[in-house]
């Protein structure tokens, strides 16, 4: 077990949401921490308010019907106790951000995990892009691994795969698994869809698979927009190089939460998803996980 005197329990993360129970963010029952900030800018993003950190422009303050937002010392302050969750502030924000973030220290999160530990199999850190707060992630997972009462909890990361090889090397000793998105096959398609190419994403998938830390690859199917169907032979040839136990999970593009151009795109129907998955299964020779809802 790790020595706790090497851990910075005061290290803080900027968090947009915490779910104390989820069964779709890794194996078993998990507490999920969503970190604020992302380095992709996906047209299809269903949580665009998690992309940027708040710049305290105060444009959203007057929109709040409950007085939960105020300006103090040139910073927008959010009072959770007064918030009704109407999301008017998010709708009005011009910066793809939210005033509703909180700063949690590793110590505070350990207390929360300790309260819920009997109902949990693990902890997943998601985003935004979780690995942008790498130093916080490392300290949090070190602290979980060093705590005897929490030693049964597995530590997973949900990521867009953009972290450098060196960055993953810092996390690898403390994580048990990862879920990585592969949103397009061709580099140019990926660049158009998310604002960055996919070479790094694929290097990440290869690195994590080689260390037996790749739990799941997620494929987002957007009919007529991305190339996962038109490039299905090359895609499956690549997926077949990964260990057989790696889960291939399919996500169906929907409009929920999406803003801008993505709202003009067709949603992925269950029928379209079944057609895509049938072709994948025929080429992979194993099952893939389908979405449970299409809304």
CB of 159 to ligand SF4, least distance (A): 24
Cα–Cα–Cα angle for 129, 132, 138, rounded to 5 degrees: 110
Q: Which of residues 92-151 bind ligand SF4 (CB under 6 A)?
A: 93, 95, 97-100
* Cβ(68)–Cβ(79) below 8 Å: yes
What is the rounded CA–CA span in Å between residue 13 and residue 125? 11
**Span from 5-13, 28-36, 58-66, 161-169 in contact with ligand SF4 (CB under 6 A):** 58-66
- Tell me if 85 contacts ligand SF4 by CB under 6 A: yes
CA distance 193 to 262: 10
Is 55 near ligand SF4 (CB under 6 A)? yes
Beta carbon of residue 79, minimum distance to ligand SF4 (angstroms, whole number): 8
The answer to whether 58 contacts ligand SF4 (rule: CB under 6 A) is yes
CB nearer to ligand SF4: give 82 or 188. Answer: 82
State yes or no: residue 84 binds ligand SF4 (CB under 6 A): yes
Residue number with CB closer to ligand SF4 (86 or 191): 86
Taking the complex as a whole, how short is the minimal distance between the CB of residue 40 and ligand SF4, in angstroms?
19
Nearer to ligand SF4, 86 or 188 (CB): 86
Among residues 148, 138, 150, 143, the alpha carbon closest in space to that of 114 is found at 150
Q: Which residues bind ligand SF4 (CB under 6 A)?
A: 54-60, 63-64, 66, 68-69, 76, 78, 83-89, 93, 95, 97-100
């Amino acid at each position: 077990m790790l020595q706790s005197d090497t851990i910075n329990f005061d290290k803080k993360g900027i968090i947009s949401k915490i779910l104390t129970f989820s069964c779709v963010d890794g194996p078993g029952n998990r507490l999920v921490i969503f970190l604020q900030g992302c380095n992709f800018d996906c047209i299809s993003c269903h949580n665009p308010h998690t992309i940027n950190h708040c710049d305290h422009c105060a444009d959203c303050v007057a929109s709040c019907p409950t007085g939960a937002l105020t300006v103090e010392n040139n910073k927008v302050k959010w009072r959770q106790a007064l918030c009704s969750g109407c999301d008017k502030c998010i709708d009005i924000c011009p910066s793809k951000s939210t005033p509703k973030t909180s700063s949690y220290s590793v110590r505070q999160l350990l207390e929360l995990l300790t309260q819920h530990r009997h109902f949990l199999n693990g902890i997943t850190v998601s985003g935004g892009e979780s690995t942008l707060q790498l130093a916080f992630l490392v300290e949090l997972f070190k602290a979980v691994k060093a705590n005897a009462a929490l030693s049964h909890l597995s530590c997973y990361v949900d990521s867009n795969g953009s972290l450098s090889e060196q960055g993953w090397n810092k996390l690898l000793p403390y994580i048990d698994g990862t879920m990585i998105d592969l949103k397009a096959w061709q580099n140019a398609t990926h660049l158009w869809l998310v604002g960055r190419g996919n070479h790094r994403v694929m290097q990440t998938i290869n690195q994590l698979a080689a260390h037996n830390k790749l739990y799941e690859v997620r494929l987002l199917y957007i009919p007529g927009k991305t190339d996962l169907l038109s490039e299905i032979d090359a895609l499956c040839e690549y997926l077949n190089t990964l260990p057989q136990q790696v889960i291939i999970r399919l996500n169906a593009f929907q409009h929920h939460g999406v803003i801008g151009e993505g709202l003009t795109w067709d949603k992925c129907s269950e029928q379209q998803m079944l057609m895509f998955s049938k072709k994948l299964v025929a080429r992979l020779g194993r099952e893939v996980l389908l979405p449970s809802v299409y809304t």
